[in-house]
Structure 1
Amino acid sequence: MDYSLDVRFKPLYEAIGSLHAYICRKSHKKLDLSPSWAKEVRQRLTPEFAQLLDNVQIDGDWKLTYLLVHLCPEEEVAGFIEWLEAMTAGNLYETMSPYGNQFPVQMADFRDRTLKLFDHWNEQYFRHIDPMIITRLNEEARNRKQSVSSIPTLELIDDTTNGLYFVPMNGLKQIVLMPQYHFQPVNVISHYGKVTICHYAARIYLGDEDFLTPHDYRMIRSVAEKSRLKILRYVHHKPRTFIEIVRHLELSKGITHDHISKLRSGGLLHAHFEGDTLTAYSLRTGALDQAHKKIMGYIEQDR
Structure 2
Amino acid sequence: MKSLYSIQIEYSPVYECIASFYAYVHQKEAKSFHLDSDWREKTKQMLPPSFAAELEDERWEVLHRIVLLAAQSPRKETVGEFLDWLGSLPAGEMYERMAPWVDSIPLNLADIRDRSLLLLSRWNEHYFSRQEETVLACLKKSAGYFQERSNSVEAPVLIDEATNGIWIEPTASLKRVVLIPQAHCTPATILDFYRGMATVLYPVIDGGIVKQDPLRQLLTITQCLADEKRLIILQTLARNMCTLGELQAAVGLAKSTVHHHVTALRRAGLIRAHYTDGSTIQGYSIRDAVFAKLPHILSQSIHGGGNER
Q: Normalization by structure 1: what TM-score? A: 0.91
Shift in Å, 1:226: 1.1
What runs of 5+ residues in structure 2 fail to find an aligned partner?
Answer: none
What runs of 5+ residues in structure 1 fail to find an aligned partner?
Answer: none
> Counterpart amino acid of 1:13?
Y
- Partners of 1:210 and 1:170 lie apart in 2 by 38
Give the aligned partner of residue 294 of structure 2.
291
Aligned length: 301
Shift in Å, 1:210: 7.1
Q: Which range moved further: 91-100 or 158-167?
A: 91-100
Pick from 113, 123, 132: which aligns with 1:130?
Answer: 132
- Partners of 1:46 and 1:207 lie apart in 2 by 22
Give the aligned partner of residue 139 of structure 1.
141
Give the aligned partner of residue 283 of structure 2.
280
Pick from 86, 97, 108: which aligns with 1:84?
Answer: 86
Q: For 1:270-289, what per-residue CA distance to the aligned partner results, in whole angstroms no more than 9, with x for missing partners?
A: 01012322121111111111
Shift in Å, 1:122: 0.2
Q: Which range moved further: 49-58 or 217-226?
A: 49-58
State whether residues 11 and 75 of structure 1, in contact with CA within 8 Å, keep that contact through their aligned partners in structure 2.
yes
Q: Secondary structure of 2:31's match?
A: helix
- Partners of 2:211 and 2:53 lie apart in 1 by 37
- Partners of 1:58 and 1:268 lie apart in 2 by 33
Give the 5 Å matches for 1:173-192.
173-192=175-194
Give the 5 Å matches for 1:175-214.
175-206=177-208, 212=214, 214=216
State whether residues 205 and 211 of structure 2, in contact with CA within 8 Å, keep that contact through their aligned partners in structure 1.
no
Give the aligned partner of residue 72 of structure 1.
73
Give the 5 Å matches for 1:47-62.
47-57=49-59, 59=61, 62=63
Give the aligned partner of residue 36 of structure 1.
38
> Counterpart amino acid of 1:113?
R
State whether residues 9 and 138 of structure 1, in contact with CA within 8 Å, keep that contact through their aligned partners in structure 2.
yes
Q: Secondary structure of 2:239's match?
A: coil
State whether residues 34 and 210 of structure 2, in contact with CA within 8 Å, keep that contact through their aligned partners in structure 1.
no
State whether residues 5 and 155 of structure 2, in contact with CA within 8 Å, keep that contact through their aligned partners in structure 1.
no
- Partners of 1:211 and 1:52 lie apart in 2 by 34
- Partners of 1:196 and 1:124 lie apart in 2 by 30
State whether residues 268 and 288 of structure 1, in contact with CA within 8 Å, keep that contact through their aligned partners in structure 2.
yes
State whether residues 32 and 214 of structure 1, in contact with CA within 8 Å, keep that contact through their aligned partners in structure 2.
no
State whether residues 196 and 276 of structure 1, in contact with CA within 8 Å, keep that contact through their aligned partners in structure 2.
no
Q: Secondary structure of 1:279's match?
A: strand
Shift in Å, 1:178: 0.6
- Partners of 1:100 and 1:127 lie apart in 2 by 31
Shift in Å, 1:46: 2.0
Structure 1 residue runs of 4 or more that deviate by more than 6 Å after TM superposition: 207-211
- Partners of 1:117 and 1:170 lie apart in 2 by 38
> Counterpart amino acid of 2:246?
E
Q: Secondary structure of 2:225's match?
A: coil
> Counterpart amino acid of 2:29?
S
Structure-2 change in CA distance of 1:31 and 1:299 (3 Å): closer
Q: Which range moved further: 11-20 or 253-262?
A: 253-262
- Partners of 2:209 and 2:178 lie apart in 1 by 29
Structure-2 change in CA distance of 1:185 and 1:207 (3 Å): closer
Identity across matched positions, percent? 30
Shift in Å, 1:214: 3.2
